[in-house]
Each structure stands twice: as structure tokens, then as C-alpha cells.
Chain A
């Protein structure tokens, strides 16, 4: 079970969290201006990398807040967690 560092609460076991999919996929400000292909891409296409993946988690059984996390999908190692709006560490 992973230990995940909530940016507000600190390290907590994985079962306090809920996974939230890939991070940094912003909802278009004007969805109506998106053509069908662009909208489908926003809805359904994800990078699904082998390696480092920026993803969202929510500390659902803790502070309830969403945050971002960089996890290696091969080793499951989490290299960083950070608050929404912050840029991912390089």
C-alpha cells in the first residue's frame, strides 16, 4: 500500500485517498468552441505513459482536497505531490 504525502496533511496510507485520473487536463474555458474531435480528445484521450505520470488524487477520507502527484507507473514510486495550481516539479 502506497504512502501518499497529502500536501496539507502529510503522509497517509493509500486507502485514505481516491484516485482522480491524469492531472493538468484543464476543462476548456469555452467548450462550445471546441470541435467534436477536440472535445473527444479532452474527454477520452489520456497519455497513459510507461514511466512518470502526473495524476490527481483526493484525500477523500482526510481533508477532502484534490492535489497532484507524480508517480512512476513502472515502480509505483511517487516523486512529488503538490497543490492544484502549482507547477509540477521538473
Chain B
């Protein structure tokens, strides 16, 4: 048998397929078609959780995704432990292992429940009031203790082994919700061949029809839709958010309901659906009633009890009391009575019996309501307002229905308040978003079907239907005792009283102060009760109280689904040069520069980093080094106006630069700040090869395109990124020319024929090459550009040709040291977006005769000519300083003290056999020779200010 509370027949469960499962380690049996909630209820288990703040025993409130109480952890083994799942949504599978949460040591005997007895200490805002002092206690005592005691399930710690995929879909009509209105909309929309996606969060399509007697209409409709080629049916798929221009996010659960999932399948899919039209048919959520003790296990929404009976064949109790303000509860009462549940009383605060009430034949108490309950782990008695106390094991409540307007509201359309329903409803239909059925305030099967057809139909002729007469009456009075408004966050009506007494008027403030509606259920069952109570307390009508924002996601979405395939090595593309594998095989240690991987240094014979970098530096200074500079950004600038264009972009002059010559180029923003630098080489009158920093390539091209397209469209010039087309091998050092001479054909590379800052086109063997004589090390140097596919082959050739000369591959770290010895800046290291060329001693790059270039006018603004601007200097220090460290004038003064500048680069200089540093220092050039201090946590370091160039200031080696 699958539970003592299973009916002998009926329901949509498969009675021939028993499934074993465990809850808190105890074994139970359920049926295929059960949810965890229905299977537990069939076994008479109502106590399933402890509440967030007070650790009160909690049962199953609802039968759907709005469930605030029955949160469980599902354990499928390491890395597959998922907390905070709603038992009402979990399809049972054979071997399911579920655990309750927020209890110690057990659900029935929970130590944390002591907080319930001292509950007066924990009213709204208690965090803010109680844990104020001493201040340090918050971080070290209060917060850890509160976090341990309160809360939900534990987050898993092991890596998630499952796969998640993203799908991108386009359709004419997306229908959200497959109840009667949604099905009708899908039928109407697909009748003329439109592409339709129909999704529903439940495993079966049908919505409220699933709790009705078997319906041939439902079966036929699903058959029809399944046969239409342009219709996609997506059960187990939650539309969790609406985004601009009708992009809707769907979370599809693919394997969580299977005992043995196909390993080929992803666990979940995240659909990005772009729809011409969205039809929202999301239904409505039954509203609890607010009275003292309304949260005990055995207290349930009335229609949920009917669903458990009709859909799952489960009687959720034996003796029931019903408290309702809405006629729908009478149908639930009649259904349960027919199944053998004793209905002891129906308390209805309305003074006149409605037709439904009269027709039900249930024992009716008009003008009455529930005021209190008792029972330890399950309700055992309900006390009504007339003083009657009735023994029961079930209390069903219905405070009306709240249409699910979440997605509609996210579409930035306005909601209107409906007095009769006491709820917010969608405003007018738009061409893009329509609502149909209960989420639109339309109740009754026929009306929902007709509204659904109209919403699905392209013409969208809208008809109005009067909701049946059954309305919640007055706003709930504030109940005494622990009357819960928000079950999941343990917010009571009393908390709302406190918040309003303390002056909170805005519903957004009340929400944050009391945390009502802020739990994982986002207030699905609590929002309207909160608004009504606050409206009553502040003497305002509900519409003027307003409503809080309906944020996405509708129900929680896993991080896995949001991340999709973008994790691990697929998180971000990695760019590697053609020489990468050689570097790996030769001991390279890599660093990430932008998305590139660059070799920092090459270790030999177990050297540490310091020794490796020192050896590489010595090789470049004394013989020759080779360096993979492929990652440099490269832009080819072509066209008759190319030189004029570059003149307008760069600080320097290029109009008179002869073909075959190069010039150092500095690029400024229009505000005058250094943006990037590089070498501008003229290959021909109408063709330039421009290099950028590795990290700046994309933004430089964007900047250049901006001016080309929008400010200087009259210039005939074109820009092409060629970063990926060329591999670049730098050969640097006094023996560089000897190394490459035997390799190069078609170029005279003699010192006089090819001077410093020149470019030639020729060959390396048979391979076409652009050879630059440039240097970022201060030594004689060449950069050989060859088509990227030949990069590795030419690297091998250079390496072989250099071996007799002791050529040494070096990495970015040695490159940084060597350039710092020469006082060459690195954009982004010496500069930070507030630095102008003058600050860096780069005035010489500015073409003085040029009328204009981007950023020129800004260089004359008052702040740019102040004497105290930070300027590039060198520092002599007794140790390698920390980059980013501050410079101050006096070592004896404690902070706060004026900071004169900061260290931008600091290295051990193997060449000079001492530490070197570059710094940006206020009025730095005037301070050369002074002693300043670098304050550290335990001491101050005295440093002497010097010129930035510390090696070969005459640059004689460059011109060797």
C-alpha cells in the first residue's frame, strides 16, 4: 500500500507503479505521478519543516510552486545536493532521498524552537535594534550565530558535475501556462500555422484541469497540439522572467524527475525565447487567511486539499474545519466530504450565505472566522470567533485568489487594482503581451477558455466576462497572537503593526523592514494579505499603498542553468599564440593579459622566478634574447587619407613620415588622457601598420572607428584589425643583427641601411615578412612579423640561428624589467586614465605644428598645466618596493598625511645590480634628488628621487 491516506481509486497517479523514497532517512512508498508532497501526505506526514526564524513546525500549505513551507533538500550524491526545493513541485522517482531543513537534531524535536518561546525578543527589525553593540560583535558573534540558527538548506560544497545548456528560440506566440486558458490560446494561435511555444512549470500540461474528472477535451487538445509541426510543448518549464522586447527566460528541468537519467542529457536547459507575442496564462494563487496559529501542520489552502484528493488520490485529513471568504472553498469542502472527510464547520465571515454556500450543504457558520488553533506538531483544535473550539486534524483556508501578474508586471505594463477581487490585475492588452484566464482575473472554465482563444488568436478580439460572484469581503483585521502573513520569512501581522507604528509608510520600506515577501517564494502567498493589512493600519485604500516590484525569477533558477556551458575553461575564450606549445614545452610560466596567455619567464633546471628573470635580462643586455610579441594589437590603416587621419588621432605627425620609417605614437582620449601607445610604421604612402598594447587592441580600434565614421567621415581611410594575422618575434640584444642576418632575404639590414625606427618588407626564407627595427628593451632590436601560420616555424629558425650566439627566450617579466631600466612606460601601469603626455615626459611625441588632434585642446585646460601634477620619476630604494605603495615627505608623521605620489613599477634590476622603481610623483621633476619615504605597515623606507631613465640615457645602444 502506498499510504494510509490514499483513496481507493481516482486521481492521475499510476497505482500499478509504486516508488520507494526516503524522507529524513525513513523509508516510504509513493506512486508514479506523485509529488514528494502528495506522497508524504498519503503516508500521513504533515510535519515537513521548521520555520526560518522561530523554528515552528510547518506542514504543506499548497499544492504548487507557491509553497512557502515545505522546502526540502534532495540528495543525489556528491555535487548533486540541491537545497530549498519545494516538495509540492518535486516529482517522485524511485529511490528519491529527501531531507528536511533548518532543524536540529530532528524535525519533531528541534532545539532551535526555543526561539519560538522567546519570540517577543524577535519582532520586526530586531536585527537593527538588538545587535548594535559592541560594534565588533556583529561580525564575529551575532552574525555567525544568527546565520547558523536561521535560514534554509545548506548550499552544496562539491562542484556540480551536471551539464546545463542554453537554447535560443524564436516564435510567433509564446504561451505561458498550460491550463485551460493557455491551452485555448495555443490552439487558437497555432490553428493558422503560427509557430507556438507552450510552456508550463508542471510535469503534465493541463493546469487546473488535472484536478478535474478525466477530461476528453484535455486529451484531444494535447493530441492536436502535439500533431501541429510548429508547436513546441514544454512541460517542467518555468517562465521565470520577462525581458525587454519579449525575450522570456524559461528554465526547463530535464532530468531531475528521473531515477536514472541518461548521462547524455543536460540536467536543465535555459531557453531564451524571443516571441512576437506573449500570452500569459499563469493562473492564480490561493490566499491564506491571517489568524493566530495559522501555520501549524494540517492547516492548508482549501483548493490544495482538493487537488491532493482529485489529482493524487490523497485524503489530507479526517476531520476538517474550513475558514473561507471565497466560494471556491465550498467546492473543496464538498469534494472532501464525498471522499469521507468529516467537514465539522465552515466559518465564513460574510453575513449572507452565497449560492455556493447554500448549495454545498456543509455546516455553515456565517459571520464567523477562525481566531486561534492549537496542536503541537499538527493542528488538533480550531477556535472560531463565536467561541466554539472544534477538534480537527485539518484546517482548510481560503482568503480569495491572487492572480499571478508577475510576468505581466515585468513587461512594464501597468497593473490596476480590482476592488471586487481585492487584487491587482493586468491593465490593457498590448500588441506584444496579453493575459488570459485566472492571471487576468477571469475565473470559471468557460470564461477562461474563451479568453484564452481570444488571446491566442492573431486578431485578439477581446471579450469581457464577469467573474462569478464570490468575493473576499473586508480587508483582514489584524489578528492577535502569532498570525503569519509571510510563512517562509516568519513575518506576522504583529510585525506589520510594529513597522507602521514606527513610521514606515511606503510598502517598499515595510517590506524591507519586516522582510515580508523577501523569501525564496517572493511573497506569492503573502503579498496581497500584506498590502491589505498595511492599508488597514495606515487608513489608506490598497491602490494608494501600491505594490512591491515583481522581480524575476518567478521561482528560483539554478546557477548551473544561468551559467550554461560558460564555466571552467569555457567561461571565457583563451587566446594563445602560434608559439604557445613551444613555450609550454620549454618551461614557460604563463600569465593572462586580457584574454591572451603570455609566457612570463622560462624556467631552466629548476630555477626560481627571480633567477630565471635575471638570466633572461642578462642575455638580452649581453648577447641576444627572443620574445613572443604576437599578442600586440595590430591595425592596418590604408587609404589616400591615412596619414591625415593618423595625424588627427595620434599626438605625433605622420604626414611627413617617409615610407619605411616608424614613429612612436601616443593616443589620447578627447579629454587629453593617455589611452594607448604603440609604433606607427609607414609601409607605403597610403598604408600604415599600427601596433597597440596587448590589452588595448579592441578599444583602440573602437576609438579609431568612432572618429573615422562619425567625426571624419570625409577622409578616405579604412581600418583592419590584423592582430591575428601576424606572429611577431622580437630579437633584442647587441648580437640581434648577427642572429637574424642569415635568415633575412630581400632586406639590407646593415645599421646605416636600416636605422632604428624603420620598417622593411622582405622574407624569412620563403615566408613573407615585415621586419621592424624597434626596441622596447633599450638594446638593438628587431621585430619580425610573419603570417601567423608560419610563426612557430620562424621561431624555430630564429632560435636555431641564435644558438651559437647564446640566444635566450625571455618572457614578459624580463621585458618589464628591461623597459623600466630605460624608463619606458606601460600604459595601464604608469598610467591610470588621469595621465597626460607631459606627466610622462612624452611632450616630444606631440607634433607642435599640428593645428589639432584628438585630445589636444584638453591639454590646455587649467588642470592640465598645474605644477603639482604627478610626473614620472625613478626611485632609488634599498629594496624592491611594493607597486602601489604611497610616497610621503616625512617619515615621522603618522597618517593622515599628504600622499605625494605612488610607486607604479618596481623590480630587481639585474643590469644595475640594485632595485629600481618608477613612480608618479607630484611635481616630480622638481623633486629629483630629494629623499622621500614609502610608509609600510611596520616601517618607512627612504627613497631617492631620480630621472626615470637609469640605463643608457644616451640611447647609444639602440642605434648600434
Using a CB–CB distance below 8 Å, which chain A residues touch chain B?
A: 1-3, 13, 18, 20, 26-27, 30-32, 34, 36, 39-40, 43, 56, 58, 60, 64-66, 75-76, 84-85
Contact = CB atoms under 8 A, between A and B. Distances in A.
Nearest to A42: B670
Given A1-B243, A27-B711, A66-B710, A36 B705 contact: no
Given A3-B245, A32-B852, A43-B670, 15 more contacts: A1-B243, A3-B274, A18-B702, A27-B670, A31-B852, A32-B856, A39-B857, A39-B861, A43-B858, A58-B702, A58-B706, A76-B412, A84-B709, A84-B710, A84-B713
Interface of B: 243-245, 247, 272, 274, 412, 670-671, 702, 705-706, 709-711, 713, 851-852, 856-858, 861-862
Contacts of A40: 861
A36 B706 CA distance: 24
B864 to A, nearest CB: 10
Contact of A20 (B247, B670, B706, B852): B706
Contacts of A26: 711
Contacts of B709: 65-66, 84
A1 B244 contact: yes
Nearest to B854: A27
Nearest to B708: A66
Nearest to A38: B857
Contacts of B858: 39, 43
6 cross-chain pairs, A with B, having the tightest CB-CB distances, nearest first: A31-B857, A3-B245, A66-B709, A2-B244, A27-B711, A1-B247
A28 to B, nearest CB: 8
Contacts of B247: 1, 3, 13
Contacts of B861: 36, 39-40
B852 A76 contact: no
Contact of A66 (B245, B705, B852): B705
B702 A60 contact: yes
A36 B244 CA distance: 41
9 contacts: A18-B702, A31-B857, A32-B857, A39-B857, A39-B861, A43-B670, A43-B671, A75-B412, A84-B709
B866 to A, nearest CB: 14
Nearest to A30: B852
Contacts of B705: 58, 64, 66
A40 B851 CA distance: 19
Contacts of A60: 702
Contacts of B711: 26-27
Contacts of A58: 702, 705-706
A56 B710 contact: yes
Contacts of A34: 857
Contacts of A36: 861-862
Nearest to B861: A36
Nearest to A34: B857
Nearest to B246: A3
Contacts of B245: 1-3
A39 B857 CA distance: 8
A26 B710 CA distance: 9
A23 to B, nearest CB: 9
A32 B856 CA distance: 8
A75 to B, nearest CB: 6
Contacts of A65: 709
Nearest to B670: A43
Nearest to B852: A31
A1 B166 CA distance: 15
A68 B769 CA distance: 41
Contacts of B244: 1-3, 76
A57 B773 CA distance: 39
Contacts of A1: 243-245, 247, 272
